[in-house]
């Protein structure tokens, strides 16, 4: 019926952005998907009946409309933050862009999402330090009172400070032998293993 329609994306449980991307897919293709589902026989599977019922949920259209209108900035920002080689100044600007966009999110749903965003950032002491470092890297002197007494060399070394753990996760994924063993490694041995495996291509 709709050969041009790609298969639905599969959200990853621990990746919030993938859930929003999946919801955006259904927002953009809601009518086509509903047409296809309505051709299925409910006697074939209980999940077909559930899918048909989901298409007729009272709050479905308003929720998808809100997501489509306002939430696409979040997975875009997450994808950008997951890229390598970004300077801290650019990383902070990306997050602050989402914060500024949150001011335009209307209704109770927008208010709830904005409050969640503000709560998460407020509970993260690293965010305050990152803001101070970002201001230093831009040559500004308005720092918080509890900012660590870094030397110039130390502060400058934070130029490429990542604010997400995705690079660490990529590293452990690429170092396939560091499965559960990494929990029992001594720090000095782990450092040696990481150096050797990260430079394995130079040894070939």
Q: What is the pLDDT of residues 166-176, one digit of tens each?
A: 665 655 566 56
What backbone torsions phi and psi does residue 160 show, to the nearest 5 degrees? -110, 30
Q: Band the pLDDT of 196: cuts 50, 70, 90.
A: confident
Q: What is the pLDDT of residues 74-125, one digit of tens each?
A: 989 988 888 878 899 999 999 999 999 999 999 999 999 999 999 999 998 8
State yes or no: pLDDT of 180 exceeds 80.
no
Q: What is the pLDDT of residues 120-179, one digit of tens each?
A: 999 988 888 888 889 888 888 777 777 777 788 888 888 988 777 666 565 556 656 555
The answer to whether the pTM exceeds 0.75 is no
Dihedral angle sign, alpha carbons of residues 4, 7, 8, 11: negative
Q: For residue 78, what are the CA distances in angstroms to 73, 104, 121?
A: 9, 19, 15
Dihedral angle sign, alpha carbons of residues 55, 60, 65, 66: negative
> What are the residue ranges spanned by the domains of the chain?
16-71, 83-160, 166-199
Identify the pLDDT of residue 139: 87
Dihedral angle sign, alpha carbons of residues 83, 84, 87, 92: positive
**Residue 37 · residue 19 · CB < 8 Å:** no
Q: What is the pLDDT of residues 12-63, one digit of tens each?
A: 877 778 899 999 999 999 999 999 999 999 999 999 999 999 998 988 999 9
Identify the pLDDT of residue 176: 60
Dihedral angle sign, alpha carbons of residues 183, 189, 191, 196: negative
Identify the pLDDT of residue 164: 75
């Amino acid at each position: 019926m709709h050969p041009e329609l790609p298969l639905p994306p599969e959200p990853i449980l621990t990746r919030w952005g993938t859930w929003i991307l999946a919801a955006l897919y259904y927002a953009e293709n809601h009518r086509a998907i509903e047409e296809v589902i309505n051709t299925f026989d409910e006697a074939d599977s209980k999940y077909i009946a559930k899918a048909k019922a989901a298409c007729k949920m009272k709050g479905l259209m308003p929720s998808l409309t809100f997501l489509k209108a306002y939430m696409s900035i979040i997975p875009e920002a997450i994808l950008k933050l997951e890229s390598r080689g970004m300077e801290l100044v650019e990383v902070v600007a990306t997050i602050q862009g989402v914060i500024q966009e949150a001011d335009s999110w209307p209704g109770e749903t927008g208010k709830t999402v904005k409050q969640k965003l503000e709560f998460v950032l407020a509970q993260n002491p690293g965010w305050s330090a990152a803001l101070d470092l970002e201001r230093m890297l831009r040559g500004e002197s308005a720092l918080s009172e509890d900012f660590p007494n870094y030397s110039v060399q130390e502060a400058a070394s934070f130029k490429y400070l990542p604010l997400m753990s995705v690079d660490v996760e990529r590293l452990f994924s690429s170092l396939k032998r560091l499965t559960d063993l990494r929990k029992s490694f001594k720090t000095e041995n782990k450092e040696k293993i990481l150096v050797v495996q990260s430079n394995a291509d130079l040894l070939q």
